[in-house]
Amino acid sequence: MGGASGEGGDAVREGGLRAVPAPGFQPGERGANRRRTHRLLAGAAAVLAIAALAAGDRSATVAPTAAGARVDVAALARTVEAEQDHVTAVELAAWIRDRKPGLRVVDVRGADDFAAFHLPTAENLSLTGLTRAPIRPDETVVLYSEGGTHAAQGWFFLRARGIEHVYFLRGGLYEWMTEVVNPTLPANATPARRTEFARTAELSRYFGGVPRIGGGAAPTAVDDPAAELPRRGSDDGDGAAAAAVRRVRQRGC
């Protein structure tokens, strides 16, 4: 709609110094026809918008299950046994980096802890909040806490609400810190392990981490050319994250 259609001819003639004529002003039959078309299109847009309002929002958010709703415990137990209830920190990091569609990372710790440090893209929801937060069935929810216990409990709450795609970060923030932010490759690692580590190291650097080789007293930064890629300063770049984790570790799970 707008004055869009049929202006190409005017715009191509750029020779003169005169200003481009105002497209809204088109005397004669052509102008009248165009105005009619514009009105028709505007009307169609209005009708579609009003119809959308009237149709309501199917929005497909899963309403919290009423108290006492039945849960298929056996099915949940099978999911847990098949280890399909959790993700590793490296898997989660890859999801965040690759912008997995519909991914929601949920931090179930307190607001203060969340403010001090949280995973990229995470939102903060208490366990109570989890029980009533609107979640679409097509979303993939990953819960995490300091260790993993609270997140695992939250996993059950969401599954009990009938939400299918729920996972928790198995080792919590500890795992994130040791596997993503500061992954360390033992000096005597096998070649296969080294190849795998290269992938992890790339992820780590994406999140501003510092991958290291050698579990000795003085770990050295990875010595490969790729490590020279832009990386946040290892001293204060991840300082805030490291300090937050130190506090987390001191407190225990």
Partner 1 sequence: MIFPLIDGDAGSGGAGLTVALVLGVAFGFALERAGLGSARKLAGQFYGRDLTVLKVMFSAIVTAALGVLWLSRLGLLDASRVYVPETWLLPQAAGGAVFGIGLVAAGLCPGTSCVAAATGRRDGVAVVGGMLAGVLLFAEAFPLLDRFYDSTPRGTLTIPSLLHVSPAVATAALVAMALGMFAGAERWERRAHVGGGS
Residues that bind partner 1 (CB under 8 A): 1-8, 10-12, 14, 18-25, 38, 42, 45-46, 48-50, 52-53, 55-59, 98-99, 101-102, 120-121, 123, 136, 138-139, 208, 230-233, 237
- Separation of alpha carbons 83 and 252, rounded Å: 25
* Tokens representing residue 126 in the block: 């208490």
Least separation, in Å, of the C-beta of 7 and partner 1? 4
Least separation, in Å, of the C-beta of 2 and partner 1? 3
- Separation of alpha carbons 66 and 148, rounded Å: 27
Nearer to partner 1, 208 or 214 (CB): 208
Nearer to partner 1, 115 or 253 (CB): 115
Least separation, in Å, of the C-beta of 31 and partner 1? 10
Least separation, in Å, of the C-beta of 136 and partner 1? 7
Backbone phi, then psi, for 106, in 5-degree steps? -120, 125
Report yes or no: 64 and 35 within 8 Å, Cβ to Cβ.
no
Indicate the SS3 state at residue 212.
strand
Least separation, in Å, of the C-beta of 107 and partner 1? 12
Least separation, in Å, of the C-beta of 64 and partner 1? 17
Question: How many other CB atoms sit within 10 Å of the CB of residue 29?
Answer: 8
Nearer to partner 1, 10 or 72 (CB): 10
Cβ neighbourhood burial of 232 (10 Å; 0-12, 13-18, 19+): middle
Nearer to partner 1, 12 or 74 (CB): 12
Nearer to partner 1, 3 or 216 (CB): 3
- Separation of alpha carbons 42 and 225, rounded Å: 58
Report yes or no: 205 and 229 within 8 Å, Cβ to Cβ.
yes
Least separation, in Å, of the C-beta of 199 and partner 1? 14
Nearer to partner 1, 16 or 191 (CB): 16
Strands 140-144 and 103-107: parallel
Beta strands in the chain, from DSSP E residues, in sequence order = 86-87, 103-107, 122-124, 140-144, 166-169, 184-185, 212-213, 220-221
* Tokens representing residue 82 in the block: 């098949």
Nearer to partner 1, 13 or 251 (CB): 13
Q: How many residues does the chain have?
A: 253
